[in-house]
Structures are given as C-alpha cells and as structure tokens.
Amino acid sequence: MGDQNTRYDGCMVFLPDVSLLRPGDIILTSTLESQDERALEISRRVREAAGSRFSHVLICTSPPTFAEAGNEGVSSLSLANCFVHAIENLRVLRHPDESVARRAASHAQKGVGREYSLRQARQSVLPLGTGKASAGDDGTFCSAYVAEAFALAGAAEFTVVPIERTTPATIENIGRLIDITDVIFEPALAPRNVEAMTALDGDYAPTPSSPQTETFQRYAKAALPQAERLVSMFPEAGLERQTTYFSMLLLILDADASAPRIDEGRRSDFLRAITELDNAIAAQQADGAIEELYTDIVASDSRQMERNLLESCSATPDIDIQALRSQYEARERSLAERYRALMSMKVGRMRRSIDFHCKMQEESIAFASRMQQALREILTRLGDAGSHLG
C-alpha cells in the first residue's frame, strides 16, 4: 500500500468482524481503489465482460483465512489484515447449509497452490464455441475455483452453469446465497497501520506468506509424474487424479487406506508406487523453502505482537479492542480446526512427506497458541470482558 501518507487521516473505511465468519463464506470484490492503472483496467474489463459489479471471488477456508485464485495461482489471505474503502465495492455471501459450506471450504483448501489459468478465465466470458481448448491445463480462475469447491461439496446450484463458464456474476446471482455483507463489515476510522493492510477493493499488501503459492506449485509439478502413475496404474484403488501439494499428501493417505483392496499379486507394486510419490514430495520438502517461509512468518507476527504488547502498556493505548477480540475468537476456532486436521493426518506419519507436514503443522500450531496467549494478555490488560474466552 506504500509509505505513510495522509490519505487515510480521519478517513472512514469498512473493517471485517472476523469472529462472525464461517468456513465457506464467499466474498465478491472489485478493484476500484487501486494505484495500479493496469489492475483497474483489468477489473473494469472483467466486470463488463461478465455483466457484473464484481470482478473477483474469494472463499473462506478457515476463519479468518480466505483462499483466492489470482494471477500467481491459488493463495491464502487473512481477512484480519484487510479492509474495504466502500461497502458497495464488495458482497459477502453465505450458503444456507453449513455442512455444505464446510465441505466446500475443505475442497478449496486442497486447491491452495493450484496454478492460475488466464486462458480459462478469458474463455469463461467468450461466446460458446469460441476459444481453443488446451490439453493439460490444470489451472483455474477465481470464480471457477469457488464454484468447483461448492459443486464438489454437493451444492447443486453451483452446477447450473458449467464450472468453466462461471463468472462473478454467476455467483452473485445465485438466489439461495444469503447476503451477510452488513453483518461482517462495519464502518470504522482507518486503523493507524492501514497503509500496511490489504484493500480488498484496491491494492494488496505483501506478506511473508506470499512465496507459499510458488513453493507449493513447484512441489506439485515435481511429484506429478509419480502421482499420475499411482492413480493410472492401479484403477482398482479408486483413487482420483490430484495436481496440488496438499491434495497429493491426502492422496498418499487415501492410497495407504486402499491397499487392502489391491490384489496380493499387485500389492507390493502398489505400495512401491505410493513410496515413490512419498519420496518425490519429501525430496522437494528437503529444499528448506517451507521452513524459511515459516521462519519469516514467525518473525513478522512476533514483531507485530511485540508492538501491540508495548502499545497496550501505554497510558492511552491506540488499539481497537473490538477488532483484537474478533481476531482472537476467529483464531481460537481456527486453531481447533487445524488441530483436528493434524490429528486426522497422523495415521500417515510413517510416510516421510506426511511426517514432515505434521511436524511443520505442530510447530505452527504451537506458535499460534503462544500468539493467542499474548492476545489474551493484551485484552485482559485493556479490561476486555471477553478476554477469558479460550
């Protein structure tokens, strides 16, 4: 968002109450406040081609985290570090069936790291029968990514229009979705660190997690031959083709669980194929990129927490207590979900890649728990009545 400036002095913006978010919640946005002329023009063209007020779609995977398919691929974004200039620049929609929404969030999480397909995005707004198909294009684009997650979750309303033809307008016009925009976003004075925040209707702020998408794409590409061989050579296992890092880890778990269904004469080859996939992913994990990413995130979050702790000790602390409590509550629920996900994967820890993933998740959860303790300390110091939660 750039260096400190006076644009936001005394300015009202809209901030999310992330404690009210649920997995599967959808955000529709448009780029209308960017300093990047090219981004403004691209958003305008998408809106015109799709016949919509919106040009982009995100889905909540685990509050306050959202996933989105952007130019670099499918990546994650924390809504706790976001704002919007004007409420009409976005909509927040919720599926009425919470179980469907949760399944959609789970499917979306598996897609983090998937490549972006500009060809598919363009073709979605072209007249039927135009454009060229491209073999081997495993990418996606924002609205198709969200629609596919819900379709896989059993939401029939997301299949009325073919996934590859789904635009922001398609999702905006699904009548069954509940508009909760005014519930989630409320007007507030721009925070003191607003220039370091992401504007959902404007410029995104860089974060330490930004390299994550590229890392996961690289891992998945390297292991794709082994993953495809496992699926194609043993159809009796009932495994589905997977193309992302997370989904390949789950493929290993599913394959191990399927071993009893494989004829004894082929079982040793089947287990060898699983091991080859496991080794291919583990070889990528050994490059240290994930550990480096985690170290950067810890350093960044620790610096921010230290600033908040110091500010909370001042005579007149400049801290939004409601926003801090909202973050605490959302992250507390997210921690519980992450722990459940970790427990479900521990059965596969005999596999090198699964064991590495579990170790990193254990470290991440432990750090997040320490951050929650610090948040509790701040909320208690500021006299917040809800600080006993958790």
CATH of 12-205, one of 3.40.50.620, 3.30.413.10, 3.90.1720.10, 3.40.50.360: 3.90.1720.10
- The pLDDT, as a whole number, for residue 9 is 84
- The pLDDT, as a whole number, for residue 164 is 94
b/e map 333-368, b = 16+ CB within 10 Å: bbbebbeeeeeebeebeebbbbbbbbeebeebbeeb
Please give the order of strands across the beta sheet that includes 56-62: 73-78, 65-70, 56-62, 26-29, 90-94, 178-179
Domain-wise residue ranges, the chain: 12-205, 213-285, 289-388
> Is the entire prediction scored with pTM above 0.85?
yes
Residues with Cβ within 8 Å of 353's Cβ and at least 6 positions away in sequence, in order, are 249, 252, 278, 281, 282, 285
Measuring CA to CA, which residue among 51, 30, 29 is closest to residue 161? Answer: 51
- The pLDDT, as a whole number, for residue 192 is 86
Residues with Cβ within 8 Å of 269's Cβ and at least 6 positions away in sequence, in order, are 233
Using a 10 angstrom Cβ sphere, with 0-12 exposed, 13-18 middle and 19 or more buried, the burial of residue 134 is: exposed
Strands (E), the chain: 12-16, 26-29, 56-62, 65-70, 73-78, 82-83, 90-94, 178-179, 185-189, 198-199
Residue-wise DSSP of 43-78: HHHHHHHHTSS--EEEEEEETTEEEEEETTEEEEEE
* pLDDT string in tens for the chain (390-residue length): 444 556 888 899 999 999 999 999 999 999 999 999 999 999 999 999 988 999 999 999 999 999 999 999 999 999 999 999 999 999 999 999 999 999 999 999 999 999 999 999 998 887 766 555 555 678 999 999 999 999 999 999 999 999 999 999 999 999 999 999 999 999 999 998 899 899 999 999 988 778 999 999 999 999 999 999 999 999 999 999 999 999 999 999 999 999 999 999 999 999 999 999 999 999 999 999 999 999 999 999 999 999 999 999 998 888 888 889 999 999 999 999 999 999 999 999 999 999 999 999 999 999 999 999 999 999 999 987 554 444
- The pLDDT, as a whole number, for residue 54 is 97
- The pLDDT, as a whole number, for residue 383 is 86
Q: Which phi and psi (to 5°) does residue 139 adopt? A: -75, -175
The distance from CA 244 to its chain's CA centroid, rounded to whole angstroms, is 14
Q: Give yes or no for a contact between 114 and 244, defined as CB atoms under 8 angstroms apart.
A: yes
